[in-house]
């Protein structure tokens, strides 16, 4: 085993990332678990789905809604994913 200056040194562990949020109203805090989505094109049905979704699944479902607006969205895959998170799309007509 090499000794002295040739001894292999372990790289120091990078610090654990800490995410914080800063809001326009002056509030701030830990942002762990926060998800930001562009909702420009969301409609009333999308917001109804979010309201009806379990709080713990809202970040995931918000991503599914956003993905549903992509041109190459896999409709059957999205429907299966919505069902996996307890969203019954039949309540919302043509989604």
Is residue 58 domain-resident? Answer: yes
Is residue 15 domain-resident? Answer: no
Is residue 14 domain-resident? Answer: no
pTM: predicted TM-score of the whole model, two decimal places: 0.71
Is residue 49 domain-resident? Answer: yes
How high is the pLDDT of residue 68?
94
Nearest to 64 by CA among 54, 49, 52, 48: 49
Confidence of residue 6 (pLDDT cuts 50, 70, 90): low
Is residue 10 domain-resident? Answer: no
Cα-based torsion angle of the residue sequence 31, 34, 39, 45 in order, rounded to the nearest 10 degrees: -140
How high is the pLDDT of residue 14?
82
How high is the pLDDT of residue 12?
81
pLDDT above 80 for 36: yes
Q: Give the number of domains in the chain.
A: 1
| Residue-number span of the structural domain to which 81 is assigned | 35-95
DSSP type of residue 29: E
């Amino acid at each position: 085993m090499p000794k002295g200056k040739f001894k292999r040194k372990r790289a120091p562990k990078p610090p654990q990332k800490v995410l914080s949020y800063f809001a326009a109203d002056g509030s701030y805090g830990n942002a762990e678990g926060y998800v930001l989505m562009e909702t420009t094109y969301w409609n009333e049905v999308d917001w109804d789905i979010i309201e009806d979704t379990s709080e713990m699944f809202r970040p995931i479902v918000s991503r599914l809604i956003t993905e549903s607006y992509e041109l190459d969205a896999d409709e059957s895959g999205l429907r299966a994913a919505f069902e996996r998170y307890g969203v019954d799309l039949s309540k919302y007509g043509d989604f």
